[in-house]
């Protein structure tokens, strides 16, 4: 179904359910219902509903009617579709950063969506520093990659107070998934401030915006670990975010030079690039099947005896 592009189509799932026979898999009597009849057939219906739930497809009354005719009123698929009819419409609009049902091709529009999703400040401005060339088609950004940047007023103020004698770092790429589309974003950050330059933490009893802390002395059980400790890792402030079409050093240098127009402090501070290779697909990871024109690759031919250097196994009749 993902290869045909119908994994989010409710009509396709209902059409699959119409192929199942109606009547033979319905249990007859209370004893047969207690023995969980037709487990393989019910598992097939459950896997279809689980795929609908994975892709966010909300079933309708027709889906429930088809499952009633195929598996009966007290079967596991019917109970699952009843739970889906109850919960999925309530959870449909809970995402604070919703995405369109069908994402565009990886490019400027998807980079906009990704930066809006990871930017913590709603007032952050997402700008296109460098437009792709060509801007449309299959070769979008092949000649000149796009550069989409995000920076909020608070981040600009933090960068203005940065000591120019201390370096700033460009780190990445870090993975960001938008449905099935993977993006790589980079951050412009600084080192953690020394203790003498840090602002004192706000007093919870005098601040209306700082969350109050509640310390409880809980008794430890016999299964609790006495020596368990959590190491606190301090990270420096993040000054800007970027999603480029290419993660090479030249493209990132253009991003940093464009940030210097609104951040003069960045022009006097040394910039250190901490780039790493983007993680590839793990070996053995099944790829999504794709349909399209072309000739499939031919199978490799091997000698009758298997690999070279091995003798052909003889049968008892030889």
The tens digit of pLDDT for each residue in 223-244 reads: 766 665 555 667 788 999 999 9
Strand order of the β-sheet with 125-130 is 125-130, 147-151, 238-244, 181-190, 168-178, 271-275
For residue 314, what pLDDT is reported?
47
**Cβ neighbours around 26 below 10 Å, total:** 19
What phi and psi, each to the nearest 5 degrees, are found at residue 38? Answer: 50, 60
| CA–CA separation, 239 and 157 (whole Å) | 9
List pLDDT tens digits, range 35-54. 778 889 899 999 999 999 98
Cβ-contact 230, 120 below 8 angstroms:
no
Give 217's contacts (C-beta < 8 A, 6+ positions apart): none
Global pTM reads: 0.65
Tell me which DSSP letter residue 283 carries: T
- pLDDT band at 11; cut points 50, 70, 90: very high
List pLDDT tens digits, range 162-215. 888 889 999 989 999 988 788 999 999 988 777 776 777 766 666 666 555 566
Cβ-contact 118, 87 below 8 angstroms:
no
């Amino acid at each position: 179904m993902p290869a045909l592009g119908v994994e989010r189509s409710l009509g396709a799932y209902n059409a699959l359910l119409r192929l199942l026979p109606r009547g033979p898999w319905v249990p007859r009597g209370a004893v047969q219902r207690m023995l969980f009849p037709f487990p393989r057939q019910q598992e097939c219906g459950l896997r279809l509903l689980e795929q609908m739930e994975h892709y966010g497809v909300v079933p309708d009354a027709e889906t429930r009617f088809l499952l009633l005719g195929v598996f009966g009123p007290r079967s596991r698929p019917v109970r699952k579709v009843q739970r889906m009819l109850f919960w999925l419409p309530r959870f449909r609009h809970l995402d604070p950063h919703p995405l369109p049902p069908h994402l565009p091709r990886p490019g400027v529009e998807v980079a906009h969506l990704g930066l809006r999703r990871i930017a913590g400040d709603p007032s952050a401005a997402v700008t296109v520093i460098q437009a792709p060339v060509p801007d449309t088609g299959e070769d979008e950004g092949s000649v000149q990659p796009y550069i989409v940047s995000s920076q909020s007023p608070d981040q600009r103020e933090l960068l203005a107070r940065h000591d120019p004698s201390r370096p700033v770092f460009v780190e990445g790429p870090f993975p960001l998934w938008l449905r099935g589309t993977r993006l790589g974003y980079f951050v412009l950050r600084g080192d953690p401030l020394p203790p003498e330059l840090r602002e004192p933490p706000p007093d919870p009893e005098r601040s209306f915006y700082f969350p109050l802390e509640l310390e409880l002395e809980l008794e430890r059980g016999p299964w609790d670990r006495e020596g368990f400790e959590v190491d606190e890792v301090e990270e420096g402030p993040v000054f800007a975010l970027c999603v480029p079409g290419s993660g090479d050093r030249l493209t990132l240098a253009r991003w940093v030079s464009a940030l210097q127009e609104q951040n003069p402090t960045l022009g006097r501070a040394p910039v250190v690039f901490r780039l790493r290779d983007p993680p590839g697909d793990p070996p053995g990871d099944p790829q999504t099947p794709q349909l399209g024109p072309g000739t499939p690759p031919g199978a490799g031919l091997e000698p009758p005896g298997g690999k070279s250097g091995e003798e052909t196994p003889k049968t008892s009749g030889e």
